[in-house]
């Protein structure tokens, strides 16, 4: 069973049929500090934001009785898409429960794409989530960084080789600006740098797909070519 429950209560949304596979990503998280005496230092701060993603289908009315569909949770594809898009637009915090892998975490939807196919309203979709964690701000005294920080010298040659001014990137299904920044810079928080360099193209693509705007880069589409500054 896979379901989403809006924070604070609300009607659960169930995914049926279930996807063939679910991808869950974990990673080590570091906080970076620029200091006068030590240069740039990185301090370990637990695990990075968990990412969960999968691809699946919503079956139209004629396919609702297939054996892989749980009739109790079946929803018209158009209605399912509307519900999930509302979660995205409202940045709703959701509890994601996946019973087969014992996953139960609070998330927000980072990307959602659908493609219609067939003659009965079927939809294929790609969806990804980012774990929602409370923002905690610490002073250097609370972090006690003096006891274990290590001075590092920035390698500008490596940075230039890895990113490259003007390099292009083709958006893939399930991508978000955060994910692209993580791939290109090793730091997802630099997503706005990519957005600012491609703002006109991103906004034009969003309007082409029926959106009023890209919501500051939230809506990007597979096949789009972005400049990585």
Q: What is the CATH number of the domain that holds 160?
A: 3.10.350
Higher pLDDT, 33 or 210: 210
The number of folded domains in the chain is: 2
How confident is the model at residue 209, as a pLDDT? Answer: 84
pTM: 0.52
120 and 72 within one domain: yes
- Spatial CA neighbour of 168 closest among 202, 135, 198: 198
Q: How far is CA 149 from CA 27, 40, 139, 143, 159, in A?
A: 20, 10, 15, 11, 22
Domain that holds residue 135: 1-152
In a shared domain, residues 215 and 141: no
- Give the CATH number of the domain where residue 81 resides: 2.40.30
pLDDT of residue 156 exceeding 50: no
Predicted pLDDT at 56: 95
Q: Domain check: are 39 and 86 in the same one?
A: yes
Confidence at residue 134, expressed as pLDDT on a 0 to 100 scale: 67
- Judged against a pLDDT cut of 90, whether residue 115 lies above it is answered with yes
Where among 107, 135, 152 does a domain terminate?
152
Read off the pLDDT of residues 190-229 as tens digits, 9 standing for 90 and up.
889 999 999 998 998 888 888 888 888 889 988 888 988 8
Residues 180 and 67 in one domain: no
Domain-terminating residue out of 109, 125, 152: 152
Residue 157: per-residue pLDDT: 46
Q: Which residue has the higher pLDDT, 134 or 18?
A: 18
Does 98 lie in the same domain as 170? Answer: no
Task: Identify whether residues 136 and 182 lie together within a single domain.
Answer: no
Residue 94 vs residues 104, 106, 131, 200: alpha-carbon distances, Å: 10, 5, 9, 32
- State mean pLDDT over 93-102: 91
Query: Phi-psi category of 58—alpha, beta or left, where left has phi over 0 and alpha has psi -120 to 50?
Result: beta
Is the same domain home to 104 and 124? yes
In contact, 131 and 94? CB cutoff 8 Å = no
């Amino acid at each position: 069973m896979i379901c989403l429950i809006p924070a604070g209560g609300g009607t659960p949304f169930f995914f049926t049929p279930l996807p063939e596979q679910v991808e869950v990503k974990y990673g080590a998280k570091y906080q970076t500090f620029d200091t006068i005496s030590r240069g740039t230092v990185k301090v370990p701060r637990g695990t990075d934001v968990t990412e969960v993603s999968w691809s699946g289908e919503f079956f139209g009315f004629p396919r609702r009785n297939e054996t892989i569909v749980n009739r109790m949770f079946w929803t018209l594809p158009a209605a399912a898409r509307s519900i999930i898009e509302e979660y995205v637009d409202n940045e709703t915090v959701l509890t994601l429960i996946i019973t087969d892998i014992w996953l139960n975490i609070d998330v927000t939807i980072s990307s959602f794409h659908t493609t219609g196919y067939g003659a009965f309203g079927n939809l294929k979709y790609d969806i990804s989530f980012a774990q929602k964690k409370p923002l905690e701000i610490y002073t250097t005294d609370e972090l006690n960084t003096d006891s274990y920080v290590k001075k590092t010298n920035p390698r500008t040659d490596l940075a230039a080789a890895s990113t490259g001014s003007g390099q292009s990137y083709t958006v893939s299904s399930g991508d978000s600006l955060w994910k692209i920044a993580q791939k290109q810079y090793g730091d997802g928080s630099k997503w706005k740098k990519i957005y600012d360099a491609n703002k006109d193209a991103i906004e034009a693509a969003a309007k082409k797909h029926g959106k009023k705007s890209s919501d500051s880069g939230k809506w990007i589409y597979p096949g789009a070519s972005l400049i990585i500054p």
